[in-house]
Chains A and B, each alone.
Chain A
Amino acid sequence: MLNINRRSFIKNTAIGVAGLSIVGCAGKYRSEFIPKKEKRVIVVGGGFGGCTAAKYIKLNDPSIEVILVEKNSHFVSCPISNLVIVGLKDMNYITFKYDLLEKNYGIKVLQTEALELNSENNTLITTKGALKYDKLILSPGVGFIEDKSIGYSLNLTDKIPHAWKAGRQTEILRRQLSELKKGGTVILRVPKSPYRCPPGPYERASLIANFIKRNNLGGKIIILDSNDDVTSKGKLFKAAWDDFYRRELEYFSQVDVQNIDTENMIIDTNKGKIKADIINFIPDQKASNTAFKLGLVKEDKLWAFVNSYTFESEMVKDVYVVGDSTNTGSVGTVPKSGYIANSMGKVVAESVVASLNGKTPPKPFMANACYSMVSDTEAIWVTAVYEYDENTKRTITIKGASGTPKTRSKIDAKHQLSWAENIWSDTLM
């Protein structure tokens, strides 16, 4: 099993060499770091999916030991990070410590990195040592696809940030934008679907156009979309662009980027060459490298396939995958959003608690609510409710319980912040 997994990891990711070096030195990490005494669930990934799963396991059965493995010291929220990039909010508004999960629920938070999975004896190898588990939940987020044939590598992200994982990248793009010269051009590349947060790139483009307009910079933002059309809330975004940003925003769909010349800041596409002052290149996405590394992605696939009722991995027993890394088709009709990751965290918490107690969990039921700013004062949204369908064995959208508003509004801009504060509290506090 381990060999097959590792082969697929090397084939599917550009950091296969790093993977081999982990095998070489994994021996020193094998001593048990925290000896397992009781029922134990390890959660890898401290984002919306992982933290919610950890918290709701404790809420469902406090007797289970829960260890959250997270390599970063802080949670930085992707939702609202577009507002930080254009200076409407500060980094500290979207940055949180993990301490309340420890204090309020007794979850052990370990700042460490998952290296390897020994699925035969339920052991996770981390940089701090081995951890045995009864159940392992993985919620590692997305990974990025490098494409050397067009000159795109993740080594370039200090110069052409994606800012698609909030934190340092958010700060780089914020600084670049604050230094944008008069008449400057920003290019925003929208990745091929599926990717994390379908409306996210269009919200960012709207806010950058708004930034250019508010500051009388006289420049523009050009959206290069690899998809056939705007992938989410299309009519509402386009109406806002038409009403507000005719001078500041240009939208092109079906764009293939053929080359990126970062030295001269020129992007070559099937529709021509464009010179920019800022290139916000959001690369195509796949499951996080951690999911590949632990052998949870099938050969030649980009996302982790799961059982849609329990979220147990199709590859490894007792291991569950939630959040953006899951193959959407194997779950149902849900998008890759923070709210869905939060919903999945609750479903998987019930799933593993039921399994550890010899019971059958109830059918999955999830919801999504997602607000996007179209200016500094107005927002739009998309929402849906999902239930498990016995016929398709998938979680599908309930008829009538989904949609978008008729138009943008100021009150929805207010709701976006309240929504964020509540989902942060439900996930982290």
Chain B
Amino acid sequence: MKVRFIFLVFLFLIAASFVFAETYEKRIVIVCAGCHGTNGASVGDSIPIIGGQKASYLKKVMMEYKNDKKVGSVMPKIAKGYHDERIDFVANYFSNKQWVNTNKPFDKNLADKGKKIADVCYDCHGKLGEGIEAFPRIAGQPVFYLKQVLFDYKNGVLKSDEMSFVSEYSDVDLEALANYFSSIRR
């Protein structure tokens, strides 16, 4: 009986600490929604959707911003407010949210053109652009955001070995790829 009581107290404490941790975790991450939309479902076309994004990708990106290994707008400053535990909160919290596709329009002709050259992206991002581990989901992101990222890689603003292939593609091809992956809304 005594053992059972102690066990119940133990269970209660675990549950209470979980609730507290969840509340504290949420407190740390919901400020992001001011720029990225509630639950990370961004409706702005230059700011990425982070709700439902791969956790390992979100963690990687936050660490890169924090350590000035990735350039960005406000993010390299903001990430410095997040120590490692808080970065885990961000990654866990938003990766557990439901992905909501962008509501920004895409160009169907460019999307069709992009589909024909998209296989170069499949190994890392998946055949439907769904993302694989630290390679992000790109399907359903806004066209403008995807295009900007591709151009930034091409122009050397962003640096990555995996993305270095973009230098072999024309601007129109990259725009077509952005339209194709944005058009996959599932």
The distance from the CB of B36 to the nearest CB of chain A, in whole angstroms, is 6
Q: A362-B20, A362-B27, A419-B47 are in contact. List 8 more A-B contacts (CB 8 A).
A: A346-B27, A367-B32, A367-B81, A384-B77, A417-B46, A418-B45, A422-B33, A423-B34
- On chain A, the residues within 8 Å of B35 by CB distance are 369, 419, 422-423
Interface range for A: 35 or more
- On chain B, the residues within 8 Å of A218 by CB distance are none
The digit string for A47-61, where 1 denotes a CB below 8 A from any CB of B, is 000000001100000
Contacting pair B80 A400 (CB below 8 A): yes
Q: How far is the CA of A332 from the CA of B127 in the complex (A)?
A: 49
Question: CB of A151 within 8 A of chain B?
Answer: no
Partner of A367, one of B42, B78, B144: B78
Partner of B73, one of A56, A362, A367, A415: A415
Q: How far is the CA of A343 from the CA of B28 in the complex (A)?
A: 11
Count of B interface residues, CB-CB < 8 Å? 31
Contacting pair B47 A418 (CB below 8 A): yes
The distance from the CB of A94 to the nearest CB of chain B, in whole angstroms, is 14
The distance from the CB of A311 to the nearest CB of chain B, in whole angstroms, is 14
DSSP majority for the B interface? helix
- On chain B, the residues within 8 Å of A419 by CB distance are 35, 44, 47
Contacting pair A362 B23 (CB below 8 A): yes
Contacting pair B81 A398 (CB below 8 A): yes
Most A C-beta atoms less than 10 A away, residue of B42, B43, B74: B74
Given contacts A343-B31, A423-B35, contact A401 B42 (CB under 8 A): no
Contacting pair B37 A426 (CB below 8 A): yes
Contacting pair B20 A425 (CB below 8 A): no
Q: How far is the CA of A406 from the CA of B35 in the complex (A)?
A: 21
Question: CB of B98 within 8 A of chain A?
Answer: no
Question: CB of B164 within 8 A of chain A?
Answer: no
Q: List 15 A-B contacts (CB under 8 A).
A: A339-B34, A346-B27, A361-B23, A362-B27, A367-B31, A369-B35, A381-B74, A401-B77, A401-B78, A401-B82, A411-B73, A414-B144, A415-B44, A421-B43, A422-B36
Most A C-beta atoms less than 10 A away, residue of B23, B37, B44: B44
Closest to A364 in B: B27
Contacting pair A425 B47 (CB below 8 A): no
Question: CB of B121 within 8 A of chain A?
Answer: no
Contacting pair A411 B44 (CB below 8 A): no
Question: CB of B170 within 8 A of chain A?
Answer: no
Contacting pair A425 B38 (CB below 8 A): yes
Q: How far is the CA of A403 from the CA of B81 in the complex (A)?
A: 12
A293-332 contacts to B (CB < 8 Å)? none
Partner of A365, one of B31, B33, B80: B31
The distance from the CB of B158 to the nearest CB of chain A, in whole angstroms, is 12
Closest to A427 in B: B34
Contacting pair A401 B81 (CB below 8 A): yes
Question: CB of B24 within 8 A of chain A?
Answer: yes
Most B C-beta atoms less than 10 A away, residue of A339, A346, A366, A419: A419
Closest to B45 in A: A418
Question: CB of B30 within 8 A of chain A?
Answer: yes
Closest to A367 in B: B31
Q: How far is the CA of A411 from the CA of B41 in the complex (A)?
A: 20
Q: How far is the CA of A307 from the CA of B37 in the complex (A)?
A: 28
Q: How far is the CA of A414 from the CA of B46 in the complex (A)?
A: 7
Q: How far is the CA of A387 from the CA of B85 in the complex (A)?
A: 15
Partner of A422, one of B20, B42, B73, B79: B42
Contacting pair A381 B73 (CB below 8 A): yes
Partner of A369, one of B34, B37, B43, B82: B34
Partner of A426, one of B20, B34, B148: B34
The distance from the CB of A271 to the nearest CB of chain B, in whole angstroms, is 36
- On chain B, the residues within 8 Å of A375 by CB distance are none
Given contacts A422-B36, A422-B44, A425-B38, contact A402 B31 (CB under 8 A): no
Contacting pair A403 B47 (CB below 8 A): no
Closest to B22 in A: A362
Contacting pair B81 A350 (CB below 8 A): no
The digit string for A390-429, where 1 denotes a CB below 8 A from any CB of B, is 0000000010111101000001101101111111011001
The distance from the CB of B86 to the nearest CB of chain A, in whole angstroms, is 9
The distance from the CB of B8 to the nearest CB of chain A, in whole angstroms, is 20
The digit string for B2-39, where 1 denotes a CB below 8 A from any CB of A, is 00000000000000000010011001101111111110
Contacting pair A422 B81 (CB below 8 A): no
- On chain B, the residues within 8 Å of A347 by CB distance are 27
Q: How far is the CA of A347 from the CA of B20 in the complex (A)?
A: 15
Contacting pair B43 A403 (CB below 8 A): no
Question: CB of A385 within 8 A of chain B?
Answer: yes
Which 5 A-B pairs rank lowest in CB-CB distance, beginning with the nearest? A418-B44, A385-B81, A401-B81, A383-B74, A367-B31
- On chain B, the residues within 8 Å of A366 by CB distance are 31
Question: CB of A342 within 8 A of chain B?
Answer: yes
Contacting pair A367 B47 (CB below 8 A): no
